[in-house]
Amino acid sequence: SPLKVSLSKSTVVQWYQYMRDITSNYLLRNPYQIGGLGHIVEIDESMMCKLKYNGGWDREDKNRFLVFAPDRASETLLPLIKKFIKPGTTIYSDCWSAYNGITQIDVMPKYTLEECKMTF
């Protein structure tokens, strides 16, 4: 808090934004994967500030990812799933048809898709 360290509010806000930028730039350059064998990852899309984002969260260890997707086409979403979700993960989706190709992604072990099991 600015009061505890005798800094102006604008200085604290600027440092917060600076640290957030460093963190987000690192995560964009070094994406990590969630899930794996024995893990369930739920995937879904969300609208934020008029932009569409897709993401997922691991039910076991609570790790998450959020990524901008320009559209909801299978050709866009499947590479993102491969990039952010470890092979062998059981994926719960909301039955969106673009997810139907998940089990065909060329990785071993294969992903398992269990549709219509989203929790809200």
CATH superfamily, domain 40-115, is Ribonuclease H-like superfamily/Ribonuclease H (3.30.420.10)
16: its two tokens: 């917060």
pLDDT digits (tens, 9 = 90+) for 27-38: 778 878 899 988
Alpha helices in the chain (DSSP H): 2-5, 9-29, 74-84
Read off the pLDDT of residues 60-75 as tens digits, 9 standing for 90 and up: 887 777 777 888 888 8
> Is 0.85 surpassed by the pTM of this model?
no
Q: Name all contacts of 67-75 with Cβ < 8 Å and 24+ positions apart.
A: 69/45, 72/45, 72/96, 72/98, 73/98, 74/98, 74/99, 74/100, 74/101
- Structure confidence at residue 18 as a pLDDT band (50, 70, 90): very high
pLDDT at residue 17 in the model: 92
Cα–Cα dist 61/113, whole Å = 19
Question: pLDDT at position 19, please?
Answer: 92
Asked if pLDDT for residue 93 goes beyond 50, the answer is yes
Higher pLDDT, 57 or 68: 68
CA distance linking residue 70 with residue 76, whole number of Å: 8
Task: Measure Cα distances from 103 to 37, 62, 92, 96 in Å.
Answer: 14, 23, 12, 14
pLDDT at 92 over 80: yes
Comma-separated ranges of CATH 3.30.420.10 domains in the chain: 40-115
